[in-house]
Amino acid sequence: MRVLYVSPMEYGANPAVDAVGQGLQSRLAEHGIELRVICADFRGKDWPSTADAAMLAGVTAEVDAIVVWVITPDSGAVGAAAAMRHHIPVITLERPHYPVSASFVYPNFNHGVYMAEHLGTLLPPGADVAVIGGPGSVDDDELVLGLQQGLRRTGLHLVNDPENPRYKNVSDVAEGGRQKALNVLADFPRLGGLVPYNDETMLGALDALKETGRLGEVLMVSRNGTPAAVRAVQAGLSAGTWDVDVTGNGQLLGDLVIRAIVKHEVLDGQCIAGPIGHMITPERAAHWEPWEKRVPYHAFQPGLGPVEASVQPLGIDPGDSGRGKPRQARPRPHPPDRPVPRPPRGRRPPAGGARPAAPRSPATVRATREGTPEAKVERESRQRGRPHARCRSRPSSTPKRQPAEAESTAPQAAASTSEPAVCVLSREASGWGVRPGVNRSECR
């Protein structure tokens, strides 16, 4: 089996994004599933059409499932709709506005609140704090909302608007964090704390503090628990990084895929949340376990082969999302509260490709015939000496042969001019709709 992962950034641009993919790949490998990766960089000018194109490539290649990191709630809607129509499960990181098989989400708001509360234990009440926001993705926006709530709760003073583009690192890398940190330091010369929304932005803010000669004046906390951020905590350059167990989250994402394509569970839009985690302080950084020891790191298998090149990133028609031949529906477990549908009795099977019924033995035919209501009525009629009510007589020139005992005790009867009643309920006379076993028979 093959699973397509649509990554939002090129490998190496953001270690946390890479770690999610490594956790996903390690969990799928445990079940012999191959992971193929296509990058649809959200910073590119053609995005989000590149994300749709990557998913359409997976549909054309008939992969077994598609995993996509949702940046904005509507990104990837066209590709996901095409995959769902072809019965390919779509698993997303963060919950989109369109239907998918299942979603994994970060508890982003909680992360933000707890990060701010940790900073509040290190600063005096009312201290000035600035927040550097992210590129407007689902998870980063929720994190910033949690940060603002946490700062209000702890009595710290937020001096800037994190939604202002001057203070938003839309590039999601360290260099962008350096530029936005320089803006913050220029606008607010007396900061007590700084909260970059992720570790890459924090590393860029460290460079900005060094450039301005203010290193050591501002306490910082950030999120993700990347190796470089942990080293900064150990060196006393950062007050902490929130460890969200990025590789473990990738494995939880893989668990959803396995439930869908290995266990054939109907996930029906189920949404699960990752662990909240904890703050890596200087004390905890001493026994921090690197990501490479949590899961094995292996190179990703990029692309899907020739199919990928056949899908263009631009000009996707939302009304023509299902490229390639329709995929046959996978078997789904029948709901336990519903009876399994059965074909009606006595109906002729549909023509063309229908399997003929197996021949029955004479004993089976006799047992079936004798168990029908018609046979019961026929037996009672014979016992009373009357013909079957649904039979008729037809003329015949052949006299009925009497048993030997009757010939010795009864007078010779005249030759009968009619044959005993013959049942007209037969398959030939009344069609296929009669019950099995009611064949042409004599009433005696």
pLDDT above 70 covers what percent of the chain? 69
Task: Give the mean pLDDT of 421-441.
Answer: 42
Q: Which CATH architecture has domain 108-243?
A: 3-Layer(aba) Sandwich (3.40)
Task: Give the mean pLDDT of 247-257.
Answer: 96
Judged by DSSP in three states, 7 sits in strand
pLDDT at 305: 74
pLDDT at 406: 43
pLDDT at 319: 36
pLDDT at 200: 95
In the block, which residue shows the tokens 């909260």?
195
Do 2-105+247-307 and 108-243 come out as alike in CATH topology? Answer: yes
> Where do the structural domains in the chain lie, given as residue ranges?
2-105+247-307, 108-243, 360-396+417-444
Q: Tell me: the pLDDT tens digits for 127-173?
A: 999 999 999 899 999 999 999 999 999 999 999 999 999 999 999 99
Q: Tell me: the pLDDT tens digits for 46-84?
A: 999 999 999 999 999 999 999 999 999 999 999 999 999
Task: Give the mean pLDDT of 280-286.
Answer: 94
pTM for the full model?
0.68
Q: Tell me: the pLDDT tens digits for 104-138?
A: 999 999 999 999 999 999 999 999 999 999 998 99
Task: Give the mean pLDDT of 343-347.
Answer: 50
* Side chain identity, residue 41: D
Q: In CATH, what number does 2-105+247-307 get?
A: 3.40.50.2300
| Strands of 219-223's sheet in order across | 157-158, 128-132, 193-196, 219-223, 240-243, 278-280
pLDDT at 315: 34
CB proximity list for 260: less than 8 A, separation 6 or greater: 65, 89, 91, 101, 102, 267
pLDDT for 299 beyond 70: yes
